[in-house]
Structure 1
């Protein structure tokens, strides 16, 4: 992509070659069909190859209709991707019309009309399957095939003078229409003469038609190479500069220290509520021994999607204090005795917390010092949560499942949460409707992907210092790390990673460091004992190191996309990682059981998308804030937070180790 300014007609925000529309259409369309075929053959092979006369082994390859319309989840795979294909498809038809339109020539209009009609009828036979309504499915399918004739002929007639494109169109069109003859023949052999195996042969020709049909439209990439699609800001909003309004003091002060403590504790409250959600949800499938429906509360985190509504976004940003306080219902939930209502309360609290934190990050995005302090509060809050869970033997004293009898301090924790929320929101937010700067770049979608992988990694691997140690545990005799005292090393790696990410963000955002993170994830997944734990330390360092660059990039893009979509994908990862240990009654449970490696691969691929976004953003943007100001800010907000949490966690681990060794010493004495 390119980015430049046109002084006469506004600011060009993004431009890209139109051939990518063709490639997007081709790739997504092939993915729709092939993903359904792969999933169907893997899950329901014997069912989808069976027809009204024969089954396996006489018939051993499914038809297109049986693959995409008869079974779940292959039907869903196809429908999702074919729906995504519609966007590039409409764009492809429009671009072809613009390319071929000539004054006084009505043929391009007719061809464009046929292209639109084919697209709509494709939606018809896609979403009305033969199982739903056989007649309408056939009507849409036949209409699609009939409309293909004038579309193909029109494209051949109107082809620009591009010898290579014309040659490919002729070859593919010939293959397409030639294939129809044997396809009809073998269908008659199956339907009329009931020949065993004829339907399998027919299916191969049917699938060939699909491949040829998509390939024919893929040739437009050779013609669209001369087009460029440009998105412009005609009002020139990108030209306006944002003035900094925050002042930074140059000396240490107790109010600043109190600010840091309150912000970090508020971050700790967020992670406490988020980590409690899974515990409360898990109660219900165990109680009912099946899918209970309460699992839907995992979607509480996608509340930032509502920030796409401008009026609601303005309401939240003007009332951040109210929404942050409202999120504390998730801490107050310990007072609710009924498990279902308690889950409702925590789900509501998590929803408000995700909404208010995302709005806070976005509202502070125009002031880098304030944004960085909030991001640090969120991340150091995670470290504090891990440290406290270590002290409470993997429990959290403010979880709603805790009480005075089992070591909970819910009341005291709630009082501190209210005070910290009030202090956290005492400053007037800066509206994120103000542009973030003319030189900013990057992709909102890639930022959302990276954010989903980051949050999942932080939650699943680093919200408890014993998690990755238990991953590499092989039992007695002990040949690897122990949760006490070696969890301290995990905390140390997290702190060093966070420091590195703050002071060297462009270094940790490189592909080289990403490769090191991937190696660490691989070692953690494939090896046990100390070798596996060394990989865990690399992972702990890497995820905290990239957190600030990722969160910064996400905060400076549309919040509903980066945080809303990011949390949505994060939820799929959570479900994926639960399915790894799913019981037999869980639908699809056996498919991914014990495949933690698949979860780790998916996580690192999503993080890689975030790295791509951040590297692109770093290459095209400049840091406009003075280094001295940034250093002063970090002195107040980073070092006290990380140092206090680091020291506190170390003391907790020493105390926990002492609790383990004292009984042994007394028994030997």
Structure 2
């Protein structure tokens, strides 16, 4: 069969030139045409227009107006063919150069996805769907990361490809200035860097001109072709000369010779002027990624649970927790190979950061949930390959603990919120700073030389393996899952252990806002102990260890862990907290051991199996620990009701096989793996800095120090009291609501506040303390109510008046969720006033509500005739007869309704006695929660006086506000409605004004 030469061929280098020219023409023709025809329109944005904004963004230029939009899209469509052909050329060239590597195939897949996402943000413009356009643009930029660094390793043009990312830092900065702070002119400066990004992207792809020019690759059209490298390969077409030709790839002999003599491309190395400090930079990068990983893991449950608390049932997004099962993909060889490579590690860390942290500004909660899923998905794979490689080196297992403590510290310093969570907005977040640190960490990771202490992920790099047989994978896997859940549930915020042991006033134990640093200090000391128990270098000869090095695996250590868990669960005050501190030390010390056991099992049995099951165990515990309190709306969850004791016992039981039990047939690692000396030095220094920050950090304030609690209107002897169900501290937009609550408390001059649905010390709520912002910014005494081990939704009392004593009640709840109550006595201008904050059962459990109302009536009547204020969630209609709660509480509790004529109520009620009620207001919820804020204003009699005998007619002498002194007025700014007026969406509703009441005759004020 004869060979026919093609009558038409295109050199690969020529195709690359055409692609680069066409790309440039598409963008810059749109820029020129847009500036000529619609200049003022394309520079205008939602913040400002010309002249503050005077240079258009890429999105406005290519997507908003005819004809530039159409010109651009037409040229981009024409350019798609050359782009896909160049991807194929690159694959064939790199495959010939690196026949045993999986990188060429991976890069071809990334290249195709990169092209498709480019088409996505090109054809779905910001005017079509802003969120989708932004997400596709971000995904395109993320895919550039593996595309760039992968080609760096394979391409001669690698030195020209480093400048691509330099424009990202100022671009992100100015975008935040525009989007978040809404600074006029910021978008113009952002546009310059956005256009530079486009230019660098085009120049980046144009390096293919050099590569393809040196290779001699051509695209030819033939009827019958001969594709050869020294006549080794051939392909034929059908003999019919009329058959349409096909494309093939050929190399000239000259080009072939050049390729054969071309030196093999080695791993990319950055010429580092600070070689001496490179190990430190590598450690800081690894520490950042450990922090990022824990931030993403702890942020996923609180992001997905937003949907559950609005629906009060399983809403579907709960399946997002299965993103942690991503290590199962490591069972596939290509995924394993990619995840173990430098490019894979960089791509996974970058993708997790860009999505899981970088999309915090997106308004759509669904998009933020998707971003959290992507972040955790990538993190799970990256963690798995690190732990699998940590068999001969304990570096990553200790770093895992260090990142966890750092995450907990960041919450401690930021009012209980991790500053990089997706539920945190610009007011309480530090996303830009953290993302900038992440960018530098990514650059360091991508350009890192082999470190003296950093364990390579290549299997051949392991220089030490334990001589004992590997532990069966099942026990190691489930122990790891139980451990991660234990850490997450009880130690991811330093105040959680204090909430478990809190017992009220007078304080007989630690205070959640004062003693939280002790939890961090104990974790620091325990980590130092674990580090001291690990050998500084691999032992020689047999795998023996000293007695001290066996402490983490000794049965006595497990016994101490069991005892400390028992004290934490069953005791309060200092005894319970002391048990909690020992429990924290126990979990911290054994963490490196459990991780190393799982890594050893993964080494012999497969990472997908071992770590996939571990995360499955974590997922089960995540929901079970929630069902101990949130069982009423979940089918089958009743069996977990109030069984935290069984959950703790199960976690300990699953951890037990990690210890050296002579009676068990399974063997465990008898000592921690070595941590290299240089890494040990950096870890110790980091722990010391964390300890200092934990102690000193809360003392530093950019604003004045925490104010001393002082009533707003002490001279007039006024007490303003409010009740609010705050929906677990998540507002309607899925953001932390602490600052919105604080602002309304401040404007209404609230002296006493009852908050409901406040026990957030569970993973699904983010393990947060909802009182931190209000207490620190406004000055309140605080009683946080029954803790997580009491299985309630929680209630809180904030008071500007000293809390003399308090008692926590668990109200009768035979059919539904436990109802909490706080009974406190506060010193109000020298008079003892009892304040009760309570959250009763739901409409579905009438027996619970009747029994709870009866118990609350008993508590209120027991203090008669002393002054009292009840602030509660009752679930009853006004004046409802027994067995409904209203009549029981008012009549038997010997209290007055705040306003008996207000018939439009169902949940929240204010009752009182012994005080002069002077005003009553109902303020709409705004975007904070799903219920309103009710406020009652009271004038307090002087010592020795009483109002118990005031007739009802005298109590209901209504007044205009002008008839009362100005101290009694609520703010005028809150007059309005949902269309106009009000403040931050809050306004006086129902009556459209506060109700004011005349002071009764001879009020004895």
Matching residue of 1:401 = 423
Matching residue of 1:650 = 695
Q: 1:623 to 1:662 in 2, by over 3 A?
A: closer
Q: Does 1:565 align with 2:586?
A: no
Matching residue of 1:524 = 568
Q: Does 1:331 align with 2:357?
A: yes
How many Å apart are 1:381 and its aligned residue?
Answer: 1.1
Cα distance between partner residues in 2 of 1:284 and 1:639: 41
Give 1 or 2: higher helix fraction: 1
Cα distance between partner residues in 1 of 2:328 and 2:634: 29
Q: Does 1:508 align with 2:531?
A: no
Matching residue of 1:384 = 406
For the residue of structure 2 that corresponds to 1:478, the secondary structure is coil
Matching residue of 1:271 = 294
Q: 1:432 aligns with which of 450, 459, 482?
A: 459
Q: 1:624 to 1:340 in 2, by over 3 A?
A: closer
Q: 1:635 aligns with which of 680, 689, 692?
A: 680
The answer on whether the counterparts of 2:323 and 2:373 sit within 8 Å (CA) in structure 1 is yes
Q: 2:517 aligns with which of 478, 488, 500?
A: 488
Matching residue of 1:311 = 334
Q: 1:378 to 1:422 in 2, by over 3 A?
A: farther
For the residue of structure 1 that corresponds to 2:515, the secondary structure is helix
Matching residue of 2:717 = none
Matching residue of 1:128 = none
Does 281-290 or 429-438 show the bigger shift?
A: 429-438
For the residue of structure 1 that corresponds to 2:425, the secondary structure is coil
Residues paired across the two proteins, number = 408
Cα distance between partner residues in 1 of 2:563 and 2:703: 35
Cα distance between partner residues in 2 of 1:526 and 1:624: 35
1:237-263: CA deviation from partner (whole Å, max 9, x where unpaired): xxxxxxxxxxxxxxx954333333222
Cα distance between partner residues in 1 of 2:611 and 2:705: 42
Q: Does 1:412 align with 2:433?
A: yes
How many Å apart are 1:332 and its aligned residue?
Answer: 1.4
Cα distance between partner residues in 1 of 2:366 and 2:501: 35
Q: Does 1:449 align with 2:478?
A: yes
Q: 1:602 aligns with which of 642, 647, 650?
A: 650
Cα distance between partner residues in 2 of 1:620 and 1:466: 33
Matching residue of 1:281 = 304
Matching residue of 2:623 = 575
How many Å apart are 1:285 and its aligned residue?
Answer: 1.2
Cα distance between partner residues in 1 of 2:425 and 2:638: 37
Matching residue of 1:358 = 384
Does 454-463 or 603-612 show the bigger shift?
A: 603-612
Cα distance between partner residues in 2 of 1:657 and 1:354: 37
Q: 1:463 to 1:657 in 2, by over 3 A?
A: farther
How many Å apart are 1:378 and its aligned residue?
Answer: 2.0
Cα distance between partner residues in 2 of 1:279 and 1:622: 36
Cα distance between partner residues in 2 of 1:520 and 1:575: 24
Matching residue of 2:323 = 300
Q: 1:643 to 1:511 in 2, by over 3 A?
A: same
Q: 1:525 to 1:656 in 2, by over 3 A?
A: farther
TM-score, length-normalised on structure 1? Answer: 0.57
Cα distance between partner residues in 2 of 1:579 and 1:500: 35
Q: Does 1:260 align with 2:283?
A: yes
Does 256-265 or 311-320 show the bigger shift?
A: 256-265
For the residue of structure 1 that corresponds to 2:359, the secondary structure is helix
How many Å apart are 1:390 and its aligned residue?
Answer: 0.8
How many Å apart are 1:455 and its aligned residue?
Answer: 0.5
Q: 1:585 aligns with which of 593, 611, 633?
A: 633
Cα distance between partner residues in 1 of 2:444 and 2:598: 25
1:546-593: CA deviation from partner (whole Å, max 9, x where unpaired): 011111121222222332111111110111101011152211233222
1:336-355 superposed matches below 5 A: 336-355=362-381
The answer on whether the counterparts of 1:498 and 1:545 sit within 8 Å (CA) in structure 2 is yes
Does 273-282 or 651-660 show the bigger shift?
A: 651-660
How many Å apart are 1:340 and its aligned residue?
Answer: 1.5
The answer on whether the counterparts of 1:365 and 1:432 sit within 8 Å (CA) in structure 2 is no
- 5+ long unaligned stretches in structure 2: 1-274, 451-455, 534-548, 711-778, 780-799, 802-1005
Q: 1:546 to 1:617 in 2, by over 3 A?
A: farther
For the residue of structure 1 that corresponds to 2:459, the secondary structure is coil
For the residue of structure 2 that corresponds to 1:270, the secondary structure is helix
How many Å apart are 1:538 and its aligned residue?
Answer: 0.6
How many Å apart are 1:497 and its aligned residue?
Answer: 1.1
How many Å apart are 1:657 and its aligned residue?
Answer: 14
1:585-606: CA deviation from partner (whole Å, max 9, x where unpaired): 2112332222211111111111
Q: 1:522 to 1:433 in 2, by over 3 A?
A: farther
1:45-77: CA deviation from partner (whole Å, max 9, x where unpaired): xxxxxxxxxxxxxxxxxxxxxxxxxxxxxxxxx
For the residue of structure 2 that corresponds to 1:468, the secondary structure is helix
Q: 1:613 to 1:570 in 2, by over 3 A?
A: farther
The answer on whether the counterparts of 1:442 and 1:616 sit within 8 Å (CA) in structure 2 is no
Q: 1:541 aligns with which of 558, 579, 585?
A: 585
Q: Does 1:476 align with 2:505?
A: yes
Q: 1:269 to 1:619 in 2, by over 3 A?
A: closer
The answer on whether the counterparts of 1:484 and 1:657 sit within 8 Å (CA) in structure 2 is no
Cα distance between partner residues in 2 of 1:459 and 1:383: 11
For the residue of structure 2 that corresponds to 1:483, the secondary structure is coil
1:93-128: CA deviation from partner (whole Å, max 9, x where unpaired): xxxxxxxxxxxxxxxxxxxxxxxxxxxxxxxxxxxx
Give 1 or 2: higher strand fraction: 2
CA-atom RMSD in angstroms: 2.9
- 5+ long unaligned stretches in structure 1: 1-251
Does 286-295 or 615-624 show the bigger shift?
A: 615-624
The answer on whether the counterparts of 2:348 and 2:382 sit within 8 Å (CA) in structure 1 is yes
For the residue of structure 2 that corresponds to 1:292, the secondary structure is coil
Cα distance between partner residues in 2 of 1:294 and 1:351: 15
Q: 1:509 to 1:437 in 2, by over 3 A?
A: closer
Q: 1:646 to 1:482 in 2, by over 3 A?
A: same
Q: Structure with the greater relative contact order (CA < 8 A, sep ≥ 6): 1 or 2?
A: 1
For the residue of structure 2 that corresponds to 1:417, the secondary structure is helix
1:301-360: CA deviation from partner (whole Å, max 9, x where unpaired): 111111122232112112211112111111112132211121111011101011112112
Q: 1:551 to 1:341 in 2, by over 3 A?
A: same
Cα distance between partner residues in 2 of 1:551 and 1:533: 27
Cα distance between partner residues in 2 of 1:380 and 1:267: 8
